[in-house]
Amino acid sequence: MGIRAVLILKKIGFIKPSNLHNLCNVYQLVFAILN
């Protein structure tokens, strides 16, 4: 996990998804980090 992952995690923290579409986007980002 590098700088990009940290920035994405910060975005997730700021966005705080409130609907299913945003949650799907977050899961895709997390999957991309872990992959």
Per-residue model confidence as pLDDT tens digits over 13-32: 655 556 566 777 778 888 88
pTM of the complete model: 0.39
Give the range of the structural domain holding residue 11, as residue numbers without chain letter. 3-34
pLDDT at 33 over 60: yes
More confident residue, 14 or 1: 14
CA angle 13, 35, 30 (to 5 degrees): 15
Domain count, the chain: 1
DSSP state of 19: S
State the Cα–Cα distance between residues 12 and 26, nearest whole angstrom.
Answer: 7
State the Cα–Cα distance between residues 13 and 5, nearest whole angstrom.
Answer: 12
Tokens of 26: 């977050």
Tell me the pLDDT band of 9, cut-offs 50, 70 and 90: confident
For 23, residues 6+ apart whose C-beta sits below 8 A from its C-beta are 17
pLDDT at 4 over 60: yes
